[in-house]
Structure 1
């Protein structure tokens, strides 16, 4: 059986058509880029806005021998682990978005938080050691024992007073002023101002870094939050409520 052949011969695409399709493709790519950038840069909404920081006197802060800071009521139902660098912008965003919601869970005893501070962003600070000094300041304030004071200090450190990367940062006296404004006692304020815990903070930051690597496929990324060995998805806006149960 013979095969029939079409007599149609396609004409070559004109230059005008080629340019039009090319322009359309560029517009589509531009729109995609704008959408992606807008989604990436859009700040997270603040959860539980108006609650404020911890205000239940039953919430305490405790400084561990490894530099971890435990914040919560002694009878808290569950403890989760936060890994943060004081200069990390994303850590500041998480504190801004979820800090008040977490504060209520701490006040109600549904959660306690164990903070592990790393200092890999020291090199991104103007002084070259800001993260380490901020960790040392946190240790001074945590040792004073007041959960409400520590909560205010931590919020100021990551939100209200957090320096930008690759720019000027805060000196020890400025960190001490933040501690004083949060209500820290005189000995804690002096501890911050003198840098008394800086050397210990260096060693503790390395311990925290090693622990984070073990949990996170040998990667150091902050903020990272774990419920046991399960890393929580902070892209899920309901993660605080869900982990608190």
Structure 2
């Protein structure tokens, strides 16, 4: 959980921490809350489209927005889903584990594109104290090559099988680079990750995403958060991906 003083409980609970957004004269303090998943129906935590895997269609590309959003989808798609995540956020990992393959199939079928907006408020809860920022920088290194399936595989692994635990050991840059290479990242992307190129840019992009998320949620930011056309999506609704594709 993000508050180091909070008591651990095996039940899903909200977890709060503060995140200071620096400015020249004003510091805005936002409350960060992990989205709480409540699977009220039987089988609500069942993996959707299990066996499909990450994006597989070579026509799916990935590109960087000027403000750091990472857009994954086929060219010309007009419907875009905004997903806010922190690479260390366990609730984000849970969402990706359950819905990631269903999202991948919809991306392959051209039903929508996804814009990932990465935040880094959990840096202090990582073993290295900067894992979220370094992971964001790694995502950006891979995204700049434009290969959608490669980025999708890397993103899937960092949020599921390879996601570190809070206050535990995490992945160093060499390990991040090795994973990127394993999933087909270019030599340039691998070198970018290894040399920690783009760390400052990733930090700036994370701050921009945090400001956007805070504004959208009325100073109460939560991860994961999903928006379509500016409207927040209830990710506890097991049909939300299918509804977004409709």
- The gaps in structure 1 that reach 5 residues or longer are 1-32
| Alignment partner, residue 80 of structure 1 | 81
TM-score by length of 2: 0.82
| Alignment partner, residue 201 of structure 1 | 202
Q: CA deviation at 1:65?
A: 2.1
CA RMSD of aligned residues (A): 2.0
Closer, same or farther: CA 35–186 of 1 in aligned 2, 3 Å: closer
| Alignment partner, residue 157 of structure 1 | 158
Task: Report the Cα distance in structure 2 between the residues aligned to 1:35 and 1:224, rounded to whole angstroms.
Answer: 20
- The gaps in structure 2 that reach 5 residues or longer are 1-8, 14-36
- Deviation string for 1:154-178 (max 9, x for gaps)? 0011001100001111100001011
Largest Rg, 1 or 2: 1
Query: Which of the pair is proportionally richer in helix?
Result: 1
Secondary structure of 1:204's match?
Answer: helix
| Alignment partner, residue 70 of structure 2 | 69
TM-score by length of 1: 0.83
Secondary structure of 1:160's match?
Answer: coil
Task: Report the Cα distance in structure 2 between the residues aligned to 1:48 and 1:160, rounded to whole angstroms.
Answer: 17
Secondary structure of 1:221's match?
Answer: strand
Contact 1:81 / 1:225 at 8 angstroms: preserved in 2? Answer: yes
Moved over 3 A (4+): 33-37, 39-43
Counterparts of residues 14-163 of structure 1 (less than 5 Å): 44-163=45-164
- For the pair 1:178 / 2:185, whether they are aligned, the reply is no
Task: Report the Cα distance in structure 1 between the residues aligned to 2:202 and 2:236, rounded to whole angstroms.
Answer: 30
